[in-house]
Amino acid sequence: MQGILYVSHGSRIREARQEAVSCIQSVIGNVNFPLQEMCFLELAAPTVEQGIDRLVNRGATAISVIPVLLLSAGHYYHDIPEELRAAKAKYPDIHWTYGKPLGVQDRFIDVLAERIQETGAPANDDAKIMLVGRGSRHPDTIRDIQEIGGKLRRQTGFAQVDICFLAACGPTFDEALKTSIAEDHSQVFVVPYLWFTGVLMRSIREKLSAVNVAVKKQFICCNQLGSHALMQRALAERVYESVHFDEFVSPRGA
């Protein structure tokens, strides 16, 4: 019997866990598989091992592991495969497959544009966008965020879209913020390329609140991608794709 295991990042912040759970539960209700569980890589329960145990105890003979991740980086290439290697050793008779992160998709640019519109702030002629990625040491991360930034610029018509990162690579968010303060733009839309809320979103908002008090120009923080219908649809598609993949091997780049 086919089992599906959704692996989300995890957070100590209750709101972040709830947002992830809500999104995944919506997908579970819209894909046709008998056995589905969700788990977290860290900072929350159930763990990956616990999620796998639940599926096996419910009768799963095949398990497709779905990374609830936007981009291919360390969690995809290293952390989840490490968990899967341990699970294969524990349950050698289970057929394992491993899905892909959502990746760069044009419909996510639609969500980002919608998040900008939701702020209710009319864009000034000289406004720019700061696109904020999570960051990773994997080279694909910078390439992907650069591609997303280009697509967002073309769709929204903003003359300038700068990219920055919250960790592991540069330019950092703090560096980009300092640059934006020094520039002549009267208005900066800060667009997080994060799926769910959490510590990183909280940090962005706190720093922008402090800046808005200290400087005359306007910094407008957009919401994260969140449990948008297009995000749910993309995750559901990854589920259906994954069950047809070959048996799990560590992905290239690991």
Domain 2-102+228-242 has CATH 3.40.50.1400: yes
Residue 24 reports pLDDT greater than 70: yes
Strand residues in the chain grouped as ranges (E): 2-8, 35-40, 62-67, 95-98, 128-133, 161-165, 187-193, 218-221
Residue 45 reports pLDDT greater than 60: yes
Give me the pLDDT at residue 249, please.
66
Residue 169 reports pLDDT greater than 70: yes
pTM: predicted TM-score of the whole model, two decimal places: 0.93
CATH 3.40.50.1400 placement within the chain: 2-102+228-242, 106-221
Residue 163 reports pLDDT greater than 90: yes
Residue predicted with more confidence, 220 or 75: 220
- Mean pLDDT over 109-121 rounds to 98
Give me the pLDDT at residue 251, please.
74
Please state, in angstroms and rounded to a whole number, the distance separating the CA atoms of residues 179 and 202: 21
Domain 106-221 CATH class label: alpha beta
Give me the pLDDT at residue 252, please.
62
Best CA proximity match to 158, nearest among 193, 117, 195, 196: 117
